[in-house]
Amino acid sequence: SGGQQQRVAIARALANRPALLIADEPTGQLDADTGLAVMELIRAVVRSEGVTALVATHDSQLLGLADRVLELNDGELVDHGPQPNRG
């Protein structure tokens, strides 16, 4: 499934213990529940491994999982600042 493929891709990307994980639309081809599960996996890796994750998404429902939200709006970067702690 798409969710399993994304999980494998994340595991592969983390195999060498990078300090930064860049994910471009990791949930773009997934249904809402699977997309949420993939984002929760990324968040868990960030917390447990101390990895910084930079995730690009068009899915505004996933923004609640972010520690910080930056938006590219008409070529300008808008910093929405740190988000409330979500656990």
pTM over 0.85: no
Domains of the chain: 2-82 (3.40.50.300)
State the pLDDT confidence band at 2, using cuts at 50, 70 and 90.
confident
Matching residue, tokens 């068009």: 58
Condensed to tens digits (0 to 9), the pLDDT of residues 16-75 reads 889 999 999 988 888 888 888 888 988 998 999 899 999 999 888 888 889 999 999 999
**Cα gap 71→32, rounded to integer Å:** 21
Give yes or no for a contact between 59 and 27, defined as CB atoms under 8 angstroms apart.
Answer: yes
What is the predicted pLDDT for the residue at 78? 93
Q: In this model, does residue 87 exceed pLDDT 60?
A: no
Give yes or no for a contact between 12 and 42, defined as CB atoms under 8 angstroms apart.
Answer: no
**Cα gap 86→67, rounded to integer Å:** 8
What is the predicted pLDDT for the residue at 86? 57
